Structure 1
Amino acid sequence: MTTRGLDLAARVAALDEAVEAAVGRLPAVDLEPARRALIHARERLALSPDHTVVALAGSTGSGKSSLLNAIAGEQIAETGVRRPTTGFPAAAVWGADGAAELLDWLGVDERRHLAGPAAEAATGLVLIDLPDHDSVVVEHRVRAERLLERVDLFVWVADPQKYADAALHERYLQPLATHADVVVLALNQVDRLTPAERDRCVADLRRLAAEDGLAGGTVLAVSATTGEGLDELRELLRQAASRRVAATARLVADIRAEAAQIAAACGEGVPPRIRRAARDELVTAFETAAGVGVVVDAVRRSAARRARAATGWPPTRWLARFRPDPLRRLHLDGVPERPELTRSSLPGPGAAGRAQAGNAVREYTATATAGVPQVWSLAARARARAAAATLPDALDQAVTGTRLDAERVPLWWRAVGAIQWVLLAALAAGLLWLAGLVLLTYFRLPEPTTPVWFGLPAPTVLALGGAAAGILLALGARLTGTWGARRKAARARSRLRAAVGQVADERLVRPVSEEMRALERCRAASRLAAL
C-alpha cells in the first residue's frame, strides 16, 4: 500500500482550495462528497494515528464473524444460523488501550482488547466485524455503510456462492476502484470446495475485481474452519498495523477520488486569453450607451462658446452670453463632490444603443469563456448579467465624475481680451475725436490741427483701425478657439473613454476574469490533489 506522490496534508490543502474556488460555480451537490472527504480526513487524522482500522465486510452468511474470531483467537463476535447474523459492529483491538476515542467516533460499542505476545506483534490493529451489507434490516445496512466511509482498510469477505453477486460489485467494489491499495478480497469457506474449484473461484474473483477497477487489490483464499490462508491474512493485517500507512492510504484514496471528480468538472482545455479587441469593442459600445458622443460635442461647443465670449469683439461679444452653455444644460459644467449622488441630463440610450451594449456584453463574455466547461461559462454569464443591470447608473456616474474641461482660463484668452478692449478704446477715442471735430465745425469754432497718420486723419485711423483690427482679431481668435475646442473635446473623449473603460473593467471584465481565475485555481488545485 502506497500513498503516491504528495503527502496527505498537501492533498487535503489542495482539495480544500479547489472546493473553495468551485463554491458558487459547481453545483453544491457535486461538492458535498468532497466536503465530506475533507471533514473525514481531518477528523481521522486527529484520532489515534497509532491505530489502523480494518473492516471485515460482507454479505449475510459469508462468515465474517467466524473469520474475526479465528483471526483474534478468541470469541469476539457471535455466530449462528439465524439471519441476519451480525446487526451491530464488534471490534477486536490488538495491544494496549488508546483506541477508545477512535471507536467512539466509529460508533462501535462492542469492543475487546487482546493482550499477550501475539497481540503485541500486531499492536495498533483494530479489526471490526461490520453488519451485513445485504441485511434485510435497514438499520444494519446503514451502520455498515457508515463504517465503510470511516475505516482504513477493507477486507471484503465473500463466500463461494455470493462472490459474484452483482450487488456486491456494483454497489460496493466498483466505487472503490480508486482504493485498490486498501482493499483485500477474502474468499472464505474454501474448505467446502475441492482444490480445483477453489482455484477457479479465486481466479474468477480476481477477474471480477479487475473489471471493478481493483486489479491491484489482494485476493486471498481463506477458511475460518480449517485455518487455510489465515496466517497470510494475519501477516497482511500485522504489516498494515506496524507500517501505519493504511489510514493515510485510505484518506489519500478518498481525496484523490473526489479531486478527480472536481478536476473533470473543470475540463481539460485552458481558457484563451481575453483578446484586447474584445475589451475595446466592449468599451466602445459602453461609450455609445453612456452618451459619450453627445458629451464630447457639448464640450466642443461649450469651449468654443467660452472662447468667443472671452476673445470676441466686445460690441458683439455679449450676444454669445445669451446662448445656453451646452454642458450646463446637461448638468456637466463641473465635477460634483459626490458623483454617485448626481445625475446628468443626458438622454438615455436608444434601442440601438442598448442592443449594441447588450451584444457587446454577450460577445465579450463568450470570448472570455471560450473553451471552458458549460457550468463555469454559465457562472461567468450570470455575473455578467448581474453587472449589466447596474451599468446605466455606473456609466452616468462615470460621465458626471469626469473632468471635461480645464478650469484655468488660457493665457491667450486673457491677452486677446485685453487687446480687444484696447482696440475698442481706440475706436471709442476715434469716434469721440471725430464727434468733437463735428461739433466744432457745427458751432463755427476754430478747429485744432488734426494729426495725420498713414495719410489719414488720426481720429479716422483710430476709429477705423480699432474697428477693423478688433473684428479681424475676433475672427482669428474664433478660428483658434475652434481649434482649441476640438482639442479639448478630444481630451474629454480620452478621459471619458478611460472612465467608461474603468466601469467596464469593474462591472464586467473583472468579474468574468475572476471566474476564469477561479476555474484555473480549481483546476490546478484539484489536479494536484488527484495526483
Structure 2
Amino acid sequence: MSVPLHDRVAALSAALDAGEGRLPADVLVDGRAVLARVGERAALSAEHTVVALAGATGSGKSSLVNALVGEEVAVPGVQRPTTGEALAAVRGPGAEPLLDWLGVRRRHGLPPGPGAAGSRLVLLDLPDHDSVVEAHRLRAEHLIERVDLLVWVVDPQKYADAALHERYLRPLARHADVVVLVLNQADRLGAAEVDAVLADLRRLAAEDGLPGVRALAVSARTGQGVPALRDLLDDAAERRRAATARMTADVEVVARRVLDACGATPGRRGGRGAGADAGVPALAEALAEAAGVPVVVEAVRRAAVRRSAAHAGWPPVRWLARLRPDPLRRLHLATGTARGRGGAGEPEPGTVERTSLPPAGPAARAAASSAVRRYVDGATADVPDAWALAVRDAVGTGDLADDLDRAVGGTTLLPARPGAWVRVAGALQWLLLAAAVAGALWLGVLAGMAYLQLPQPRTPEWGPFPVPTALLAGGLLAGALLALLASAVARLLARARARAARVRLLAAVTRVARDRVADPAAAVLGDLARCREQARRAAGERGR
C-alpha cells in the first residue's frame, strides 16, 4: 500500500526541517517550493484535471489542441516566435481560481460532452519551450511545474533534441505516470518509420528516467491517433488521479534528492553518536588526563593518609602531621568548611568554583583534542560532509577546559568526617596516653618519696611488672604499635579512597564529555536520522 500524499507532504516538511542548514541549499529551496505548490494545488479545484501540451516551435501543439477539442480555439503560428501566451480550453465550471493560480488569462469555454467527455478538463496550449523570447520560455516552464498531466508534443525531426531531453524530460524522472509523449505529424512517415521513431522515443525516455511512459503517434492534420489521445485525456479527467499523481511524483523526486544528500544509512560505528556510547569511555579517559584527574587522585590518597595520621596517630606527635599542608587544600579543592557550633571544622570538599590545578600540559591538551577528534570522526564516519561539519561545529571545545575544571572542583573527594575506625583509634590513643601519663606520675611520686626517704607504700604488680611501670611502658608501647597499625590501615584505605574518588571524578568528566561532545553530536546525527527516515517516507518507502 502506497503512502498517502498528505503523509508524504508532512514527511517531506519534517525532513527539510531536520536538514535545515545541512542539506544543500538548492535541495532546501526546491523542496520548499514543491511543498508550497502542492499545498496551493491541493487547495484548488480537485474536480478539474489540468493537461498541458508542451513542445518546441513547429511541433504542432496549437493544431493538436484544435483537433482534440473539435474546434479552432488556438491559432497556429506561421513564424517564430509562435505561441507566446498560454491558452486554456476549459470544460466544466469552477476552474477560475485554478486558472488564476496558473496565471493563464486566455480562456475558452468548451461545452460538456457525454460520458467521460463530461468530466472537467483544462487543456493548456503552452508557449514554445524553445522560443527565442525568454519570457515565453519562462511562462512555459512555470506551467510545466504546475500542471497535472503533461503531454509533450514532438515531431519526427526534433524528437531526439538534446535540449528537450536534458532540460525538460530528465528533470521529470519518476513522473512517467503523468507524462505522455506524442509524436505529431505522423502522416509524414510510413507505418514502419512511425514504429521505429516511437521505439526510439521510448528508449530515450527510459534513459531520461521515464521507463514505461505512454507514447502515441498522431497527426493533427489528418486526425490519425487523435481519438486515442482524446480518450486518454478524458479518462485521466474522469479518474481525477493525475493531480495527485503529479504532486506525489514531485514530492518523491525532492525526497530522493534529500536521501541522496543524507548519504547511506550509517553502519554500527557511524551510528554511535545517535545512541550508542562505545566511544564515550575512551573520550572521558583522555579528558580526565587533561583535567588533571591523576594529580587529584594522588592528592586524595595523601590527604586521606594525612587525615588519618592527624586523628589516629600518637597524640604527642599528631601536630607534626598537621604541619604538613593539606594536598587537597593546596589544589583549592576544599575551600568550604563544615563548621560546628564552635566555628571550626574540617574542609568540606566539592564546593569550589575554580581549582588551583596546574593547567594541562601540551601533551595532555593534545591528547584531549585528539580524543574529541577521534570521537567525532568515529561518529561521522559514514556521514555526508555537511553533516560531519555540523557535528564538529556543535561539539566545539572553546571552554571545555573550564567545564572540566568545574567538574573536578564540584566532585566530593573525601567524606566530611573521618571514618569510625579513625575516631575509635584516636580515642584509644588518648586512653593509652592517659595510662602512660598516669604510670609516669605514679613512678614520679614513688621516686620523690624515695628521695625524701619517706616510707613507700606497697606497689601493686601485674605479673612481673609493677603497675606504674606497666602503665608507662604499656601505654607508650601500645600507643606506638597502634600508631603503626593505624598508619598501615590508613595507607591501605587511602588507596581505596583514591580509587573511589577517581570513579567519581571520571563520572563527572564523563558528564562533561556527554554534555559538550557526545550529546551535541548525537543531536545533529539524530536530525540526520530523522531527515533520512522522513525522506524515505516522503519517497514512499515503508518499514525501513
Residues 1:70 and 2:67 aligned together: yes
Residues 1:513 and 2:510 aligned together: no
User: Does the CA-based 8 Å contact 1:335-1:400 persist in structure 2?
Assistant: no
User: Does the CA-based 8 Å contact 2:333-2:349 persist in structure 1?
Assistant: no
Letter in 1 for 2:427: A
CA deviation after TM superposition for structure 1 residue 184, in Å: 1.0
5 Å matches for 1:392-407?
392-407=401-416
Q: d(CA) in 1 for partners of 2:88 and 2:351? A: 69
Query: What residue in structure 1 maps to residue 479 of structure 2?
Result: 470
CA deviation after TM superposition for structure 1 residue 171, in Å: 1.0
User: Does the CA-based 8 Å contact 1:122-1:241 persist in structure 2?
Assistant: no
Query: What residue in structure 1 maps to residue 425 of structure 2?
Result: 416
Query: What residue in structure 2 maps to residue 530 of structure 1?
Result: 539
Letter in 1 for 2:24: P
User: Does the CA-based 8 Å contact 1:160-1:188 persist in structure 2?
Assistant: yes
Residues 34-55 of structure 1, C-alpha deviation per residue, up to 9 Å, x if partnerless? 2222222222222212211111
Query: What residue in structure 1 maps to residue 266 of structure 2?
Result: 270
CA deviation after TM superposition for structure 1 residue 345, in Å: 0.7
Query: What residue in structure 2 maps to residue 39 of structure 1?
Result: 36
Letter in 2 for 1:61: G
Q: d(CA) in 2 for partners of 1:291 and 1:347? A: 8
Q: d(CA) in 2 for partners of 1:421 and 1:339? A: 32
Q: Percent identity?
A: 56
CA deviation after TM superposition for structure 1 residue 195, in Å: 4.9
User: Does the CA-based 8 Å contact 1:307-1:478 persist in structure 2?
Assistant: yes
Residues 1:98 and 2:131 aligned together: no
Q: Is 504-513 or 243-252 further displaced after alignment?
A: 504-513
Query: What residue in structure 2 maps to residue 330 of structure 1?
Result: 331
Distance 1:523 1:140, change over 3 A: same
Q: Is 312-321 or 403-412 further displaced after alignment?
A: 403-412
User: Does the CA-based 8 Å contact 1:191-1:223 persist in structure 2?
Assistant: yes
Query: What residue in structure 2 maps to residue 249 of structure 1?
Result: 245
CA deviation after TM superposition for structure 1 residue 111, in Å: 1.8
Q: d(CA) in 2 for partners of 1:442 and 1:201? A: 142
Q: d(CA) in 1 for partners of 2:336 and 2:264? A: 49
Q: Equivalent residue of 1:117, what SS?
A: coil
Q: Equivalent residue of 1:321, what SS?
A: helix
User: Does the CA-based 8 Å contact 2:352-2:409 persist in structure 1?
Assistant: no
User: Does the CA-based 8 Å contact 2:307-2:418 persist in structure 1?
Assistant: no
Query: What residue in structure 2 maps to residue 217 of structure 1?
Result: 213
Letter in 2 for 1:383: A
Letter in 1 for 2:161: D
User: Does the CA-based 8 Å contact 1:60-1:134 persist in structure 2?
Assistant: yes
CA deviation after TM superposition for structure 1 residue 260, in Å: 1.7
Letter in 2 for 1:319: L
Distance 1:119 1:53, change over 3 A: farther
CA deviation after TM superposition for structure 1 residue 276, in Å: 6.1
Q: d(CA) in 2 for partners of 1:189 and 1:338? A: 93
Q: Equivalent residue of 2:538, what SS?
A: helix
User: When the two structures are superposed, what TM-score results if normalisation uses the length of structure 1?
Assistant: 0.92
CA deviation after TM superposition for structure 1 residue 119, in Å: 9.4
Query: What residue in structure 2 maps to residue 5 of structure 1?
Result: 2
Query: What residue in structure 2 maps to residue 364 of structure 1?
Result: 375
5 Å matches for 1:29-428?
29-95=26-92, 97-117=93-113, 121-193=117-189, 195=191, 197-273=193-269, 274=272, 278-333=279-334, 342-384=353-395, 386=396, 388-428=397-437
Q: Equivalent residue of 2:57, what SS?
A: coil
Long gaps (5+) in structure 2: 338-347
Query: What residue in structure 1 maps to residue 491 of structure 2?
Result: 482
Query: What residue in structure 1 maps to residue 340 of structure 2?
Result: none
Query: What residue in structure 1 maps to residue 344 of structure 2?
Result: none
Q: d(CA) in 1 for partners of 2:336 and 2:218? A: 88
Distance 1:211 1:276, change over 3 A: closer
User: Does the CA-based 8 Å contact 1:313-1:420 persist in structure 2?
Assistant: yes
Q: Equivalent residue of 1:178, what SS?
A: coil
User: Does the CA-based 8 Å contact 2:185-2:218 persist in structure 1?
Assistant: yes
Q: Is 286-295 or 191-200 further displaced after alignment?
A: 191-200
Letter in 1 for 2:59: S
Q: Is 499-508 or 49-58 further displaced after alignment?
A: 499-508
User: Does the CA-based 8 Å contact 1:272-1:371 persist in structure 2?
Assistant: no
Q: d(CA) in 2 for partners of 1:441 and 1:78? A: 149
Residues 296-326 of structure 1, C-alpha deviation per residue, up to 9 Å, x if partnerless? 1111111111111111111001121121111
Q: Equivalent residue of 1:113, what SS?
A: strand
CA deviation after TM superposition for structure 1 residue 194, in Å: 5.1
Residues 489-526 of structure 1, C-alpha deviation per residue, up to 9 Å, x if partnerless? 11111111111112222222223333443333333332
Q: d(CA) in 2 for partners of 1:364 and 1:462? A: 67
Q: d(CA) in 2 for partners of 1:371 and 1:310? A: 59
Q: d(CA) in 1 for partners of 2:526 and 2:277? A: 18
Distance 1:266 1:116, change over 3 A: closer
CA deviation after TM superposition for structure 1 residue 193, in Å: 4.5
Residues 91-129 of structure 1, C-alpha deviation per residue, up to 9 Å, x if partnerless? 12111x222221111111222232243598242211111
User: Does the CA-based 8 Å contact 1:271-1:369 persist in structure 2?
Assistant: no
Q: d(CA) in 2 for partners of 1:124 and 1:91? A: 13
Letter in 1 for 2:2: G
Letter in 1 for 2:124: I
User: Does the CA-based 8 Å contact 2:314-2:483 persist in structure 1?
Assistant: yes
Distance 1:70 1:461, change over 3 A: same
Distance 1:5 1:189, change over 3 A: same
Letter in 1 for 2:151: V
Distance 1:14 1:214, change over 3 A: same
CA deviation after TM superposition for structure 1 residue 332, in Å: 1.3
User: When the two structures are superposed, what TM-score results if normalisation uses the length of structure 2?
Assistant: 0.89
Q: d(CA) in 1 for partners of 2:51 and 2:539? A: 24
Distance 1:338 1:405, change over 3 A: closer
Q: Equivalent residue of 1:226, what SS?
A: coil
Long gaps (5+) in structure 1: none
User: Does the CA-based 8 Å contact 1:124-1:241 persist in structure 2?
Assistant: yes
Q: d(CA) in 2 for partners of 1:24 and 1:209? A: 35
Letter in 2 for 1:411: A
Q: d(CA) in 1 for partners of 2:317 and 2:91? A: 110
